[in-house]
């Protein structure tokens, strides 16, 4: 028999340690959310024709150490200013930002839909794959960012980094994001690991060419 009604007066929810359950009951709908922990704000960087945006542990109030087991970077409307094709890139550092060259292995794919269904695909993105490489990791598939007419094009999404301060295990990461123009939309997915047992204490973001013209990246720790 299907459940047709939920009686809030008789509903009893007991949180489990380390878990969270939240309900928001409005007049017309019910919203529920489940999370494994709370997000703690650490630092927001705002781009303004920036060649790079970097988070370095201990610098400018940035925390990227063993305080949290998981960190998440939230990208909001990153707008590039290159010519031709561009990607949002990142790399890790194990020497407080002196070098961004940590060895990584990853896999990537994207879903794309073009106006008029002329280009619809779920595609493995071999160009974004890394195999024991120190190169910067692509977060986005290849996209053209001309100054006109697609100056509304931008990238938003998130990057999760797990146990960056471990000196025993490699450091896994996973990212999902989207970008769109006036004629198409793309959803990008990347997962991989930094193949190092040294602590990661910095991360840098940039474009393959040009600058990050506008937008923000916000760092949170996950309790």
3 is a domain residue: no
The length of the chain, given as a count of residues: 223
Look up the domain containing 217 and give its range.
38-222
2 is a domain residue: no
61: left (phi over 0), alpha (psi -120 to 50) or beta: left
d(CA 221, CA 165): 13
20 is a domain residue: no
30 is a domain residue: no
Contacts of 132 (CB under 8 A, 6+ apart): 103, 104, 105, 195
45 is a domain residue: yes
CB distance 159 to 139 below 8 Å: yes
pLDDT for the residue numbered 153: 72
Between 149 and 31, the more confident residue is: 149
27 is a domain residue: no
5 is a domain residue: no
Structure tokens at 40: 């703690």
pLDDT in tens, 13-34: 444 444 444 444 444 443 333 3
Number of domains composing the chain: 1
12 is a domain residue: no
pTM of the model: 0.80
């Amino acid at each position: 028999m299907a459940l047709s009604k939920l009686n809030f007066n008789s509903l009893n929810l007991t949180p489990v340690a380390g878990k969270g359950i939240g309900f928001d009951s409005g007049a017309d709908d019910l919203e529920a959310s489940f999370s494994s922990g709370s997000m703690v704000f650490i630092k927001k960087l705002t781009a303004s024709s920036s060649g790079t945006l970097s988070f370095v542990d201990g610098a400018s109030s940035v925390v990227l150490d063993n305080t949290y087991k998981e960190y998440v970077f939230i990208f909001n409307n990153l707008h590039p200013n290159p010519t031709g094709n561009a990607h949002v890139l990142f790399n890790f550092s194990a020497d407080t930002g002196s070098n961004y060259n940590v060895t990584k292995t990853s896999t990537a794919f994207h879903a794309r839909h073009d106006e008029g269904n002329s280009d619809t695909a779920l595609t493995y993105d071999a160009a974004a794959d890394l195999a024991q490489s120190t190169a910067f990791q692509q977060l986005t598939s290849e996209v053209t960012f001309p100054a006109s007419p697609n100056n509304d094009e931008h990238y938003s999404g998130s990057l999760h980094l797990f146990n960056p301060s471990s000196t025993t295990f490699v450091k896994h990461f996973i990212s999902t994001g989207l970008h769109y123009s006036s004629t198409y939309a793309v959803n990008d997915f990347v997962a991989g690991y930094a193949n190092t047992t040294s602590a990661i204490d910095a991360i840098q973001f940039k474009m393959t060419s040009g600058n990050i013209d506008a937008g923000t990246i916000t760092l949170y720790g996950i309790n």
